[in-house]
Amino acid sequence: MTKKHYDVDLCIIGAGSGGLSIASGAAQLGRSVVLFEAHDMGGDCLNSGCVPSKALIAAGKHAHALTTGKIFGVEPKTPSVDFNAVKAHVQGVIDHIAPVDSQERFEGLGCTVIREYASFKDDQTVVSDSVEVRAKRIVVATGSRASAPPIPGLSDTPYLTNETIFTVDKQPKHLLVIGAGPIGIELGQAFHRLGSKVEIIDVAAPLGRSEPEHADALVKALKEEGLIFHAPVKTKMIRKTKTGVAVDLEDGTTLTGTHLLVAAGRRAVTDGLELEKAGITFDGRGIETDKYLRTSNKRVFALGDVAKGKGGLTHIAGFHAGQVMKTLYYTPPGINISAETNRMPAAIYSEPELASIGLTEAEAKEAGHNVRCVSWHFEENDRAIAERSEGGGVKIVATTKGKILGASIIGESAGDLIQMISVAMTNKVKISGLAQIISPYPTRGEAVKRAASSWYTDLIFGARFKKLAALWTKFQ
């Protein structure tokens, strides 16, 4: 078959968050763009990650709400869950968002969309079954997929990942989860609230990258809700049984369940790209890039999860796309825009939510900063008290001069509240600036202001100002 040839400004491999963002931007600037995607448009986030998981979490939250109304004077009821209807809800959310990421929309923007696998022919050419594309610049945005840890027996045992669990035929009666990270915790709590028994297993303590006190508070809340944790433990063997799956732990314990969810990591998608033909350096963790996301082939950028050590979150891929756009189209040739940042937020959408940005207290100290931290608890927040949801609070990590280095928030709407810290860090606002914001009353956001204001408590109510207050009073 004779292949169709294109000669374009930009070729993109992968139509996930990063690939779509840069395709949209380049096309709207009048650049000629070819976009390759062999699977579903929208990538992992839309089809098997962020969107379906948050839809499932919402269903679980509604089910859980029926059981917790007694303190408000509302008689608790055991929810009746129609799992097929839950799956229909999840698919409905995906279907509602899908047109934004669709092939038709991007073709309408001016992109040429090729729904085929792509690979490199040489350092400037990408090919698929039907086309050959020569491009001035190429972006690899193939993302990542779920990976399985090297546990004996796992490869011979049926298991689910975030890519398959949303299409499971029946609701898991007893779900065993390998991995106590964000995916395992979010999906574990959602399925528990919908009626599954859930046990979470991990070789390490849960959420080891979070502020320890906030990680412990989240795990405690989940345990009180009924989830069972086995962490840290070592898994000796996983095996198929007549009724599902068994997990043998090295301490002699055997856990049995009807289904197994593996949520213990992801790996960059580089197979089949033939990167070596383009002179692109890569390994099992992804494509090597510099701080501008350029690969060893300076015509080629890699962004999102496929960029070694630089991805992991949907909004990171979007940020990467914006930085590459600036380098390509908003700055003169030879000027590159860095994709390094110290203010990348993250959130775990459990209940309570756990959100963070920048450095933890331990990381800040390890980096050599003179650190001071301030906190405020939701048990002192009137909105949280009114809603009977006082658990958690705000912790801000700063230098002793008030420069904000990071923050952690645990509690309802933490993922939204962390954006206040993000705005401050983006605009180099110090603790003093956060302390001066005016918060509407009563809101949870007051906790951020109160945490920042507590920085000055000892100063403004200390001996010096007591003396000054006494002096000024004499002249009033």
Report pLDDT digits (tens) over 368-418: 999 999 999 999 999 999 999 999 999 999 999 999 999 999 999 999 999
Yes or no: say if 414 and 355 are a contact pair by the CB < 8 Å rule. yes
Q: Please compute the mean of the pLDDT values over residues 223-234 and round it to a whole number.
A: 97
Distance CA 316, CA 305 (A): 8
* 1, pLDDT greater than 80: no
- Averaged over 309-322, what is the pLDDT? 95
Confidence of residue 476 (pLDDT cuts 50, 70, 90): confident
**pLDDT of 171 over the 90 cut:** yes
Please tell me the predicted confidence (pLDDT) of residue 91: 97
pLDDT value of position 465:
86
Mean pLDDT of 101-129: 97
In this prediction, residue 172 has a pLDDT band, given cuts at 50, 70 and 90, of very high
Question: Is residue 170 included in any domain, yes or no?
Answer: yes
Residue 304's domain is classified under what CATH number?
3.50.50.60
Least confident range of 82-86, 404-408, 468-472: 468-472
Query: Are 16 and 141 in a shared domain?
Result: yes
Do 17 and 135 belong to one domain? yes
pLDDT tens digits along 239-276 = 999 999 999 999 999 999 999 999 998 999 999 999 99
Regarding whether 277 and 130 lie in a shared domain, the answer is: yes
Chosen domain end from 264, 281, 301? 264
Residues 322 and 421 in one domain: no
Is the model's pLDDT at 460 over the cut of 90?
no
- Statement to judge: residues 160 and 217 lie in one domain: yes
**HEC assignment per residue over the chain:** CCCEEEEEEEEEECCCHHHHHHHHHHHHCCCCEEEECCCCCCHHHHHCCHHHHHHHHHHHHHHHHCCCCHHHCCCCCCCCCCHHHHHHHHHHHHHHHHHHHCHHHHHHHCCEEECCCCEEEECCEEECCCEEEEEEEEEECCCEEECCCCCCCHHHCCCECCCCHHHCCCCCCEEEEECCCHHHHHHHHHHHHCCCEEEEECCCCCCCCCCHHHHHHHHHHHHHHCCEEECCCCEEEEEEECCEEEEEECCCCEEEECEEEECCCEEECCCCCCHHHHCCCEECCEECCCCCCECCCCCEEECHHHECCCCCCHHHHHHHHHHHHHHHHHCCCCCCCCCCCCCCEEEECCCCEEEEEECCHHHHHHCCCCEEEEEEEHHHCHHHHHCCCCCCEEEEEEECCCCEEEEEEEECCHHHHHHHHHHHHHCCCCHHHHHCCCCCCCCCCHHHHHHHHHHHHHHHCCHHHHHHHHHHHHCC
Please list, in sequence order, all residues whose beta carbon lies within 8 angstroms of the beta carbon of residue 322, skipping any fewer than 6 positions away.
Answer: 21, 25
- For 130-157, what is each residue's pLDDT tens digit? 999 999 999 999 999 999 999 999 999 9
Q: Which domain holds residue 450?
A: 345-460
Mean pLDDT of all residues in the chain?
Answer: 96
Asked, for residue 96, whether it belongs to a domain, the answer is no
pLDDT of 356 over the 80 cut: yes
Residues 407, 259, single domain; the answer is: no
Residues 300, 407, single domain; the answer is no
Per-residue pLDDT tens digits for 325-348 = 999 999 999 899 999 999 999 999
Indicate whether 304 and 279 sit together in one domain.
yes
Distance CA 472, CA 476 (A): 7
Tell me which amino acid residue 153 is. Answer: G
322 pLDDT more than 90: yes
Please indicate, yes or no, whether residues 166 and 126 belong to a single structural domain of this protein. Answer: no
Residue 33: inside a domain: yes
56 in any annotated domain: no
CATH number, residue 407: 3.30.390.30
Both 273 and 140 in one domain: the answer is yes
- Within-domain flag for 406: yes
Q: 168 in a domain, yes or no?
A: yes
Task: Please give the C-alpha separations between residue 185 and each of 72, 179, 191, 435, in angstroms, as whole numbers.
Answer: 27, 8, 10, 33
- Among 264, 295, 316, identify where a domain stops: 264
The answer to whether residue 67 sits within a structural domain is no
User: With bands split at pLDDT 50, 70 and 90, how would you rate the model's confidence at 65?
Assistant: very high
Domain termination site, one of 241, 264, 287? 264
> Is there a single domain that holds both residue 175 and residue 196?
yes
pTM, to two decimals: 0.95
Give the count of beta carbons closer than 10 Å to the beta carbon of residue 368. 7
Co-location of 277 and 129 in the same domain: yes
Is residue 95 included in any domain, yes or no?
Answer: no
Number of domains into which the chain is organized: 3
